A and B are shown apart, each in its own frame.
Chain A
Amino acid sequence: MAKMLIKGNEAIVKGALLAGCEAYFGYPITPASEIAEAASVYFPEVGGTFLQAESEVGAINMVYGAAGAGQRVMTASSSPGISLKQEGVSYIAGSELPAVIVDIMRGGPGLGNIAPEQSDYNQVVKGGGHGNYKTIALAPNSAQEMCDLTMLAFELADKYRNPVYVVADGFIGQMMEPVEFPKPNRNIPEKPWAVKGTAETSDNLISSIELDPDDLEEHNRKMQRKYQEMRESEVRYQAYHCDDAEIILIGFGIVSRVIQSAVDELRAQGVKVGMLRPITLFPFPSDVIRQYTDQVSKFWVMELNNGQMVDDVRLAVENRVPVKFHGRMGGNVVGTDEIIEKVLEEESA
C-alpha cells in the first residue's frame, strides 16, 4: 500500500481494522475524538460495529460485553475518560478478556486542558483500577507506530487474554505523518472460552468473581504468572546510539522524537549520548536499562509529567549510577535546546 499522510489518531483506526477489529465503542473527548469519528465512518463500511456510547463507563462495559462474546474490540479516550473507564478495565482484566484501549493523554489533573501530557503513565502502567492486575502498555512515537502498535495490541490482547493499552500523548495523536499501511493481519486465534450464543459455548462463563479466598488467590497467582511471562517475552524498546554512550537519555512518545534530535546535536558537539526509548511501558525494559549501568555515568529521564516513568528507571538502575529527571507539564513540550542545555549544564557543573 502506498504511503498516506494521516493523523496519528486516524492511523489507529486503520491499524485496528487491518488487525481485524470488529467493534468500536467510544465517547467524544478532545484530543481523541478523531478516533471515534474515523471509526464511525470506517467500521460500518467493513461490516463492523460503531456505537457512540452514552458515557465512558458505558463504552468500556460495551467493550467488556463484546470481548466476552469473542470479538476483537476496542475503545479510545483521553485522560479524564480513562479515569472513568478504570472500573471496567479492572473487570476485563479480572475476567481475562482481550481488549484494546487507546489513551491519547492530555493535561491534568482534573479537567486540566486538552494539550499533550504523559501524566497517565501511572494510571495506565501501574494497573489504574482496583485489584492485582496489569495491562500491557504500548507507547508509539509516530503515526506509523500508531498503526503498527495498534495491530500488535490486538495480537497481544488475544495471546494473553488481557487488556492492552496503546498510550500516546496528544501530540502523537494529533500529528500528521506519512504512514505506510501493512497488509491486514487478521490472525484471530480460536476463542473456545467465549460466550457466543452457540450450543458449544453454552457452558462458558465470563466472570471476575471468586468468592472463596483460596480460589481468588489462585486466580491472582495465575494472572501474576501471566504478567511474568509478559515481562520475559514482550519487552520492546529502541536503542539509539547507546553502544558507546556515556550518558543515556530515556523518554517515550513525542519526547523520544525530541531526544533523538538532541542526541544528534550533542554527538556533533562530541558528547557521547544515546537514547533509550521504552516501546512497552509495561513490561518495562528494566533489564536493558540495568545492563547499561556498567557503561554510563548517568541516565536522564525526560517526560511530559511530574516524573512517573522515572520511578521505574530508578528501580531498574538500583542506585548504581545517578538518574536525573526533567519534566514539563501543562501541555508544554521539552525542546531540543532545552534538553541540550540540561545535559551540558550538568556536565560542566
Chain B
Amino acid sequence: MTETNVADKPKTQFKVKDYKSDTKPIWCPGCGDFGVLASLYQALAKLNLPSHEVAIISGIGCSSRLPGYVATYGFNAVHGRILPIATGVKMASPEITVIGTGGDGDGFSIGMGHVPHAARRNVDMTYIVMDNEIYGLTKGQLSPTAHVGDVTKTSAYGSIERPVEPVDLMINVGASFVARANAGDPKQMADLIVQAIQHKGFAFIDALSPCRTFRGIEQKKFINANTFKVEDHDHDPSDKRKALDIADSQEGISTGLLYVEERPPYDELYKDLRDRATQKPVPEIQDILQRYIP
C-alpha cells in the first residue's frame, strides 16, 4: 500500500462518526443488524484503524447491505461468495484489515462450499455472519439455520431439515477463532469484533441478529432469555473439546469467545512459500529430464 497520507497518520484518534458513511441503513425497525453495525463502528474506533486500511466484503442479503453504511473500502459482492472475494482482497493487499459480513443464507446455504476452505486456509480476516435464521431480503423463505418445525414461506408444513450449527461447523472445519454474540448486547459484540480483528487468522463471529419482520418479536425475546456468557463459566477457549461442549450447551446459547487457536495465517505461510520459491527456483526442464536418463 502506498503511504501517501503519512501526514495524517500519526496519533489521530478516530471516532465512531468517522466510520459512518452518508448512506442511512434501510433495515426494518427492530432489525438486529443495527446492533452489529453499531458494534462494528465501536470496534473500528477502538482499534483506531484508518478507514482506508479496512475493506468490508459482503454477499447478498439484508445484512450484506452493511458495507454501504461504513466509510471504509467496501465491496457488496456476489451472493455466497464473500469468502473467495475476501481471500482475493487479502492476497492482493495483505496489510489491509479484511472483514466479511453477510447472512446465514449467504454463508451457510449458497456459500457453504467456500466456508470450510477459507477457514482451513486460515485466511487472516474477520467473518461476521448476521444469523437471523430466515431469508429476509427475498421476504421470508427457509434458511439453513432455521429450526425443525419452523414455518416459513417455503416451509408451509414446517421445516424437516436439521439446521446448520454455525459455531460447531466453524470449529470443526478449522477456523482459528470462533465466537458467538448477541446483536442486542453491543458491548459484547464490539469487544469480540475487536478481538476478531486483532486475531491473526480466520476469525468467525456468529452474530445472533433477530429479524423482526419475518421472525416477530419472539425471536429477539428468545435470544435475550436464553443466552449466557462463557466468561461466567470459566471457559478455556484454547480447548477444542470444551469449546464444542459449550457450543452445544444444554443450559442455553453460549456467547463469547468459544474457541481460539494460534496458527500462522495463509498470507504469512504464502509469503514463506514465495521466499522459498525465490531462493530455490523450479528446476530447469533439462534437470528434470536428467532424472529419467539411466
Contacts and interface: CB of A to CB of B under 8 A. Distances in A.
Nearest to A37: B153
Contact of A54 (B144, B154, B155): B144
Interface in B134-185: 135, 137-139, 141-142, 144, 153-157
B60 A111 contact: yes
B222 to A, nearest CB: 23
B112 A40 contact: no
B13 interface: no
A30 B153 CA distance: 13
B152 to A, nearest CB: 9
Contact of B138 (A29, A40, A80, A110): A29
B112 A54 contact: yes
Contacts, number: 46
A28 B80 contact: no
A182 interface: no
B217 interface: no
A305 to B, nearest CB: 21
Interface residues of A, number: 18
Contacts of A52: 141-142, 154-155
B21 interface: no
Contacts of A37: 141, 153-154
Interface string A32-69: 01001100110010000010101110000000000000
A208 to B, nearest CB: 22
Interface in A19-37: 27-30, 33, 36-37
Contact of B109 (A29, A36, A54, A110): A54
B63 interface: no
B110 interface: yes
B164 to A, nearest CB: 10
B126 interface: no
B46 interface: no
Contacts of B76: 111
Interface string B73-113: 00010111000000000000000000000000100011011
Nearest to B64: A111
Contacts of A40: 153-156
Contact of B137 (A30, A55, A80): A30
Contacts of B157: 44
Which of A30, A52, A110 is most buried by chain B, counting CB atoms within 10 A of its CB? Answer: A52
B79 A28 contact: no
24 contacts: A29-B138, A30-B137, A30-B138, A33-B138, A33-B141, A36-B141, A36-B154, A37-B141, A37-B153, A40-B154, A40-B156, A41-B156, A50-B154, A52-B141, A52-B142, A52-B154, A52-B155, A54-B109, A54-B112, A54-B144, A55-B109, A55-B113, A110-B78, A111-B76
Interface of B: 60, 76, 78-80, 105, 109-110, 112-113, 135, 137-139, 141-142, 144, 153-157
Given A30-B138, A54-B144, A110-B78, 10 more contacts: A28-B105, A28-B135, A28-B141, A33-B138, A33-B139, A40-B153, A41-B156, A54-B110, A54-B112, A56-B110
8 closest cross-chain pairs (CB), A and B: A55-B110, A28-B141, A28-B138, A40-B154, A37-B153, A54-B109, A41-B156, A52-B154
